[in-house]
Amino acid sequence: METQVENAIEIAWNPTSDQSLKAQAFEFLNQLRSDTTGRQACLALFTRAPKCSEVVRLVCLDVVNNAIQTQQLDAQSLSHVRETLLEYIKRIYGSGSGGQIDPPSLQNKLTQTLTFLFISMYKQGWESFMDDFLALTSLQNNGSRDNIVGIVLYLRILGSVHDEIADVLVTRSQSETKRNTELKDIMRARDVQKVATSWQEILTQWIGQNDSIIEMTLKLIGKWVSWIDISLIVNQDTLNLLFQLAGRTNPSHREDKVRDAAIDTFTEIVAKKMKPSDKMNMIVFLNLGEVVSQLIASPALNDLRTTSSYDTDLAEAVAKLVNNVVFDIVKVLEDTTAETETRATAEQLCQSFLPLLLRFFSDEYDEICSTVIPSLTDLLTFLRKAKPLPPAYSAMLSPILNAIIQKMRYDETSNWGNEDEQTDEAEFQELRKRLQILQKTVAAVDEELYIEILSNVIGNTFQTLDQQGGQMDWRDLDLALHEMYLFGELALPNGGLYAKSQPSGVAAERLIAMMSKMVDSGIASFAHPAIQLQYMEICVRYCSFFENQTAYIPQVLEHFVSLVHHDHVRVRIRSWYLFHRFVKHLRAHVGNVAQTVIQSISDLLPIKAELPNENGADDDMSSDQSDHSADATFSGQLYLFEAIGCISSTTTTPVEKQTLYVRTIMGPLFSDVERSLPAAKTGDAQAILQIHHVIMALGTLAHGFSDWTPGNASTAHNAPVKEVAEEFGRAAEAILIALESLRSSFDIRTAARASFTRLMGVLGISILPLLPRWIDGLLSQSSSKDEMAMFLRLLDQVLFGFKKEIYTVLDSLLVPLLQRVFAGLAEPITGTDDEIQLAELRREYLTFVQIILNEGLGSVLVSDSNQGFFEPLIVSVTTLARTVSSGTGNLAASRLAFSVLNRMADLWGGPSIATLSANPIPSTGPPSPAFPGFDRFLIERFHPLCWEVLKDPQFRPVTDAQIKQVLNEIAGLEQTIYTKTGDMFLQHLQGSFFPAMGIDGADFIKSMTTSTDRKGLAAYLSGFLRQKG
C-alpha cells in the first residue's frame, strides 16, 4: 500500500506525467482521505527512514492532518498517530542535529497537525502535551534550554496553539468558542506557569547568542499575554529581560528586529484588558514614560533622525506603544465613574505622555505620524466634550495645534508635480485630510486659540515673503495658503464673509485681512506651480471678498489671464476651470474688461480634436501630459468658452459689443465645421470628433451667455435680447446642418442634444420653429431608447417654458414625434440594459403626455391634424397601464399611465355631475363631455382596463408599495369616471358589467360613491384583492 501511495503522489505532482495517469492518481489520493489503511500508509511514509521525497511526505501528512481536523479518527487511532509522530519528533528534533530536521514547509504542516492533535487530545488523552515538547528544548533534560531545533519547534507549536484557540481576529462558531474557552482554562491550571517560566529560561540562555530565537519568544509572549495572568509576564525577572532587550544599543544602525519585538511586547502588555485602576498602576509600574523617553533620546531615534540611517521600524514600534498607552489614559479620563485616585493618575500620565505623542506625530515619516493619529483623535474628542475645559488641558491645545500645522507642510524631499512621486503625493493629501479633521476638532475646543494661531502662521509667512521674495521656500508658502484655504470652514459657516457690508464674525474679519495681504503680496508671480495653483483656488473659494473689495478684481483677473497660459499642464488645465468659476461669480463686475480678456485668451480657444490612442497609452507624451489627456484638455477649454460667455454678457456691456464678442468667438468655430464636414460625411473619425467638439463649444458659450430658463420667474430679467438671439441662431443653424449630415453618429447626436438645452437660454422663443429639425436629427433611426428618453426630458422643459407659444409647433410635430417614440417602445429587448432603457423611455413618454395635459395643451392631442393619431395614443397608454408583470419599471409605468388616463378623464369628461359623499346625490343631469361620445369612451375603454388589472394574478401582493400606488391611481380613475358620468356609469355597472363578471358589485359601488377621496376606495380594493387571494 505504501508503494502505491508513494507512486500515486509522484505521478500526480510530476509535470511530465501523462494526463490520464495523473487523473487516476488524484482519484486514488482522494479516496485515501476516507480509507483507514491509506491513512496508516501515509503516516508510515511521513515518518519512514530513510525519508521519502518532500512532496510525498507533505501530501501524506496532509491526509493525516485532514483526518484529525475532520474528526474521522477514534481515540485509539488518535493515540497511534500521537505516538508515531512523537517518536519521530524525538528522533529528529530531540538530538540537536539540525541536519535531519524537516524543511520549513513540512515544519508548518507538522505544527498544524500537532495543533489539531492538541485540540482533540489535550483535555483527555495527551495531558503531557506541553511537557513532551518542552522536554525537546533540553538536550540532557537537565533544565538547560540548549537544543535550538527543539526550541524552534516548541515555539512554533505554542504560536500555532494560540492562533487556533485565542486569536480574537478569527471568527469562530459558538461551539468552537466554547471549546477554546475550556482549553484555555485547562491550560491556565495545568501548564501556563511552566510555559511562562520556559520563556524566561530561553531568553536568559540565548540573549546575545541567537536573535532569531529571542525574536520568536518575544512575539510569542506578545500573543499569549492577552489571555494569561499578567503577573506571569509583569514580574521583575521577565521585565528585566524585556527592558534589557528594548534598550539595547545597535552600533551598526541596521534594523534590530529583537529590540522592535521587545517594544511590541510592551505594546501588547499595555493592550491587555484589565480594570482601569490596574491599567494605570501597571503603566506607572512599568515606568513606560521613562522607557519611551530614553528610546527617543537614543541615537537611533535622535542623532540619526535626519539621516538615511534613521530607524523607522523602531520609531513605528515605539509610536505604537505610545498610541496604546494614550488610548488607555483617555479611556480613563472619559470614564465619569473612575475613582478619584485613578483619574488623577491618568491626568498626570496624560501630561507626561503628550510630548512623547507629539514627538511621533511630528515625525517626518507619515507612516509613523499616522500610527499615533488614533489616540490623538481620542484625546481631542475628550477635550471637545470637556465643558468647561480645565486650564491644565487648555495648555495642551497650543502645542497640539502647532504640531498639526507643521505636519501639514510638504517635507524637504518632496517635489510637487513630479511624475515619479504621484503615489507619495496622493498619500500626503490623504494625510492632510486626516490632519484637517484634527484641526477642526481643536477649533471646536477653543475657537479663539485656533483663529489666533492660524492668523499668526499665515501673517508671519506673508511677512517673510515680503522680506525674502522669490528666495522663500515654497513649502512654507504652500502651508500658509493651505491653512488659509481651510480657514474658510470657520470664517464661512453660512457661506458669506460679509453681512450687510461688514465682516460676518471675528474669523471672517481675519480672513478678509489675509485676502488683502495675499493679493497685495504679489504671491501670484511666485515662481512655483503649487503656489500659483493655490492662489487661484483661494481666490475662487473666497469670491465674496472681491464682491466687496472690487478694486482688487482687475489685478486678480490679470493674474488669472497670465496663469491660464501656465507652462505646467496641471496648473494650466485646472486654471481654466478656476478662471471660469471666478468670472461666473463676479460677472457683474468684469464687463468693462471683457474685450481685453477675450483678446488675451483667444490663443487658447482653437479646438484640436485628438482621437484617443488605440492602445490606451500615450507613449510619446511627457509625464505630466499623460495625466492630462486631449480629452481633459478639451473639457478645460469648454470652461474657457463658458467664461467668455459670462464676461461678454454682463448687463453693463452694450448689446452691440455682446454681438461683436459672440461673432468673434463663433466665426472660427463655424469655419471649423465647414472645413471638417466633407471628411466627416465620409466617416473620418477625427473630423467627426472635431465637429463634436465645436458643437459642444457653441453650446457651452451659449450657456455662459445666459442662465435664463424659460418659465422660471427668478431668471425672467435675464431673457435674451433679440440681437443676441439672432447671433446664436446662426450657431443653432450650424449645429443643425452638422446634425442633419451626421445624424448616424452617436457622438454628434450627444453633443447636439447637450447644446439644444443650452441654446434655449439664448434663443428663447426663436428655438420653436427649429424644433422639427431638432427632432428629426436627434430621434433618427440610429437613436437608442436612452437617447429618446433624454430628448423627451428636454422637450418637457420646452413645453413648460413656452406653453403659451408652442401650441402651433407642437400641433405640427406631435405625430412624427410620437411615431418615433412608438417605434422605440416596440423594439425587442435584448438584455438587462435594454430593459432598463425601455423602462426609462416608457416613463419619459408618459411624463411628456402628462405635461401636455397639465400645461393646458391637451387639446393638441385631439386637434384636427392629430385626431387620426388619438386611437394609437390611447392604445399605447392603456397597454402600459395594463402591463403589471414583474419586469423592470412595469409597475411604475402602469401607475403613470393610469395617472395620464385620469387626467384625460378629468380634462375631457366635462363638468362633474355626481358628487362623492357619505350620502351620494344622484347625478344632476346627463354627462356633457368635451367632445361627443367621450362619456361612453370612459365607461367602455377606461373602466374595463381597471378591472383587467385587478383580476390579473400578477397584480399581487397588495402589500407591495408599487402595487399600492397603482391601486391608488385605479381608484382615482374609477371615481373620476363616476363623477363625470354619474348614473350612466352606475347603470352600466349594475346592469351589465358586474353581472357579466359574476360578482355582486354593490360593495364596490358603495365604496366608490361614498369615499370622499381615492384612499377609501383604494383600501376597499385592497381588501377585495386579499379575499380573491
Grid coordinates given for 699? 453650446
**532 pLDDT more than 50:** yes
Q: What is the pLDDT of residue 779?
A: 85
Cα(287)–Cα(247) distance, integer angstroms: 13
Distances (CA, A) of 673 to 659, 684, 738, 740, 760: 20, 13, 8, 13, 21
Q: What is the pLDDT of residue 592?
A: 79
Q: What is the pLDDT of residue 627?
A: 46
| 3-class secondary-structure state, position 17 | coil
Report pLDDT digits (tens) over 164-173. 999 988 898 9
**Backbone phi and psi for residue 628, each to the nearest 5 degrees, phi listed first:** -130, 85
Q: What is the pLDDT of residue 708?
A: 73
- Of 642 and 49, more confident: 642
Cα(645)–Cα(759) distance, integer angstroms: 12
Helix (H) or strand (E) holding 115: helix 104-121
Distances (CA, A) of 119 to 170, 184, 940: 16, 11, 79
Q: What is the pLDDT of residue 960?
A: 86
937-961: average pLDDT:
90
Give the distance, in angstroms, between the CA of residue 926 and the centroid of all CA atoms in the same chain. 63
Report pLDDT digits (tens) over 539-591. 999 999 999 999 999 999 999 999 999 999 889 999 999 999 999 999 888 87
Q: What is the pLDDT of residue 619?
A: 40
**98 pLDDT more than 80:** no
Question: What is the percent of the chain where pLDDT is above 90?
Answer: 68
Cα(180)–Cα(111) distance, integer angstroms: 18
**281 pLDDT more than 70:** yes
Q: Which residues pair with 502 in a beta bridge?
A: 499
Report pLDDT digits (tens) over 23-77. 999 999 888 888 888 889 999 999 998 899 999 999 999 999 999 998 888 999 9
**608 pLDDT more than 70:** yes
Report pLDDT digits (tens) over 881-909. 999 987 788 999 999 999 999 999 999 99
Cα(152)–Cα(382) distance, integer angstroms: 46
Distances (CA, A) of 43 to 6, 9, 35, 78: 12, 14, 13, 12
**648 pLDDT more than 50:** yes
Cα(850)–Cα(867) distance, integer angstroms: 18
Nearest to 821 by CA among 862, 787, 852, 797: 787
Give the distance, in angstroms, between the CA of residue 922 and the centroid of all CA atoms in the same chain. 62
Angle, CA of 478, 481 and 483, to the nearest 5° = 110
Helix axes 54-69, 75-93, angle to 10 degrees: 140
**Worst-scoring range by mean pLDDT, 98-102, 751-755, 872-876, 903-907?**
98-102
Residues in CB range of 584: below 8 A, 6 or more apart: 642, 643, 646, 704
| pTM over 0.85, yes/no | no
Cα(256)–Cα(152) distance, integer angstroms: 20
Give the pLDDT band of residue 626 (cuts 50, 70, 90): very low
* DSSP states of 606-662: -----PPPTTS--TTS-TTGGGS-HHHHHHHHHHHHHHHHHHHT-TTS-HHHHHHHH
Give the pLDDT band of residue 499 (cuts 50, 70, 90): confident
Query: Which amino acid type is present at position 715?
Result: T
Specify the length of the chain in residues.
1029
Grid coordinates given for 435? 490632519
Number of alpha helices (DSSP H) and beta strands (DSSP E) in the chain: 46, 2
**216 pLDDT more than 90:** yes
Average pLDDT for the chain: 90
**Backbone phi and psi for residue 1021, each to the nearest 5 degrees, phi listed first:** -65, -35
Grid coordinates given for 429? 493629501
Cα(963)–Cα(809) distance, integer angstroms: 38
Give the pLDDT band of residue 623 (cuts 50, 70, 90): very low
Q: What is the pLDDT of residue 554?
A: 92
Please say whether the beta carbons of 226 and 161 come within 8 A. Answer: no
**459 pLDDT more than 80:** yes
Give the distance, in angstroms, between the CA of residue 222 and the centroid of all CA atoms in the same chain. 36
Report pLDDT digits (tens) over 986-1015. 999 999 999 998 888 899 999 999 998 899
| 3-class secondary-structure state, position 498 | strand
**408 pLDDT more than 90:** yes
Grid coordinates given for 398? 497650543
Cα(420)–Cα(404) distance, integer angstroms: 27
Give the pLDDT band of residue 716 (cuts 50, 70, 90): low
828-848: average pLDDT:
90
Distances (CA, A) of 959 to 886, 964, 967: 15, 7, 11
Give the distance, in angstroms, between the CA of residue 932 and the centroid of all CA atoms in the same chain. 59
Report pLDDT digits (tens) over 758-806. 998 899 888 899 999 998 898 877 788 899 999 999 898 888 888 888 8
Grid coordinates given for 576? 481654466
**712 pLDDT more than 70:** no
Nearest to 282 by CA among 345, 193, 338: 345
Strand 502-503 versus strand 498-499 pairing type: antiparallel
- Of 720 and 938, more confident: 938
DSSP class of residue 765? Answer: G
Cis peptide before 50 (omega within 30 of 0): yes
In 542-617, which residue ranges form alpha helices assigned H by DSSP? 543-548, 553-563, 569-585, 594-601
* DSSP states of 816-836: HHHHHHHHHHHSPP-SHHHHH
459-483: average pLDDT:
94
- Of 973 and 764, more confident: 973
Cα(181)–Cα(165) distance, integer angstroms: 8
Cα(732)–Cα(155) distance, integer angstroms: 81
Q: What is the pLDDT of residue 719?
A: 67
- What's the longest Cα–Cα distance across the chain? 119
Cβ-based burial of 389 (10 A; exposed 0-12, middle 13-18, buried ≥19): middle
Give the pLDDT band of residue 628 (cuts 50, 70, 90): low
DSSP class of residue 419? Answer: G
| Count of other CB atoms within 10 angstroms of residue 314 | 21
Cα(909)–Cα(525) distance, integer angstroms: 73
Give the pLDDT band of residue 718 (cuts 50, 70, 90): low
